[in-house]
Amino acid sequence: MSIVESELETLVGVNESNELEVLNNNALENEAIYILREVAAQFEKPVLLFSGGKDSITLVRLAQKAFFPAKIPFPLMHIDTGHNFPETIAFRDKLVKELGVELIVRNVQDSIDQGKVVEETGKYSSRNMLQTTTLLDAIEEFKFDACIGGARRDEEKARAKERIFSVRDDFGQWDEKNQRPELFDMLNGQIELGQNVRVFPISNWTELDVWSYIQKEEIEIPSIYFAHKRKIFLRDGFIWSAEDDVVFRAEDEKVEERMVRFRTVGDMSCTSAVLSHADTIEKVVGEIRESKISERGARIDDKRSEAAMEKRKQQGYF
């Protein structure tokens, strides 16, 4: 049975004397729903960029809420680096089937095969940067005018300045000095042919907000977010997965088995794990609340230089 159908069932016999006091509980949810509806109304060909991570899974739930009882009125697109955790891909396929929405997959491997990008080599090699080319090609191929993403302003300093509707030129570039002011609730999605808008409905959510929402809404997420036994190795104080040959490992880097979980689910080659025994959503929320390391602190792609994210964004990265 699809998710939509099962929700129709819960609709039968609801308590009509309920007072809707959602604002008091979750202003962020109401804001995100408003933004998603603006996207559907203002753009001709929007798409939701889906990575299989908790932020994009949260976006999908918000989109369900925004358009109920209709289906989500735009497709999902995954830019697959080929280095995803297998758990994420399995989860993605299951979710799409349940939702009954279209899933578009475009592969970084194809961009490599076409000679458009060159695979990095060495100790810190990653396909994270290469995604940009594949993404921009896909935007052009499908003529998408709005790409909805799960980026949040609390993730990183350059993201803290990004707008909710962030205009990109036809090279996919972000001009951080020439951003449109966003006033009150009004979102200006007027663009020229060839431009597109990156839309960030959960801009104002923090990592803890997302986790609390997943807990409250009982949203299913991939198993790697919970503590599990994994073969890992240590480098520069980071914990890397050693279960596959995606992450470069030098011979002297010793493999051991530990209880770990992932706080973000990016490309395997740039996503490190944290030691954890949090195997339920309650324990994960508790752990985030106490956490002393920021979420992107576990992302080696941001560590390359202090201005790493800003430079990637100017080149069209999400």
Partner 1 sequence: MEVLKIATAGSVDDGKSTLIGRLLYDTKSLTDDKLEAIEKTSKQKGYDYLDFSLATDGLVAEREQGITIDVAHIYFSTPNKSYIIADTPGHVEYTRNMVTGASTSQAAIILIDARKGVIEQTNRHFFINNLLRIKDVIVAINKMDLVDYSEERYNGIKADFEQLMSKRDYQDQKITFIPVSALKGDNVVNRSEKMAWYKGQTLLEHFEKLDRKDIYNIGTPRFPVQYVIRPKTAEFHDFRGFAGKVYGGELSVGDEVVVLPSMTRSRIKDIYFYNKKYKTATRRTSVTITLEDEINVSRGDMLVKAGDLPTIDKQFTATVSWMDSQKLTVGSKYVVQHGVNKVLAKVENIHHKIHPDYSGIDTSITALGMNDIAQVTFRLNKPIFYDSFKNHRTNGSFILIDNQSNTTAGVGFIN
Residues that bind partner 1 (CB under 8 A): 7-8, 10-11, 14-31, 33-34, 37-38, 40-41, 64-71, 153-154, 157-158, 160-161, 176-177, 179-186, 188, 190-192, 203-204, 206, 208-209, 291-294, 297, 306-307, 310
- Host H or E run for residue 166: strand 165-168
Chain-centroid distance, C-alpha 242: 24
Is residue 250 classed exposed, middle or buried when 0-12, 13-18 and 19+ CB atoms within 10 A define those classes? exposed
Omega cis (within 30) before 73: no
Q: Quote the least distance from Cβ 86 to partner 1, whole Å.
A: 29
Give the nearer residue to partner 1 in terms of CB position, either 50 or 213.
213
Q: Quote the least distance from Cβ 287 to partner 1, whole Å.
A: 13
Give the nearer residue to partner 1 in terms of CB position, either 64 or 81.
64
Give the nearer residue to partner 1 in terms of CB position, either 29 or 301.
29
CA 218 – CA 147 distance, rounded (Å)? 26
In this structure, what DSSP letter does residue 183 have?
B
Q: Quote the least distance from Cβ 173 to partner 1, whole Å.
A: 15
Give the nearer residue to partner 1 in terms of CB position, either 158 or 281.
158
Give the nearer residue to partner 1 in terms of CB position, either 204 or 315.
204
Distances in whole angstroms, Cα of residue 179 to Cα of each of 120, 161, 197, 246:
32, 9, 12, 38
Q: Quote the least distance from Cβ 105 to partner 1, whole Å.
A: 27
Residues ≥6 apart with Cβ < 8 Å to 261: 224, 225, 226, 227, 228, 273, 274, 276, 278, 284
Give the nearer residue to partner 1 in terms of CB position, either 14 or 250.
14
Q: Quote the least distance from Cβ 57 to partner 1, whole Å.
A: 16
Q: Quote the least distance from Cβ 59 to partner 1, whole Å.
A: 15
CA 251 – CA 80 distance, rounded (Å)? 28
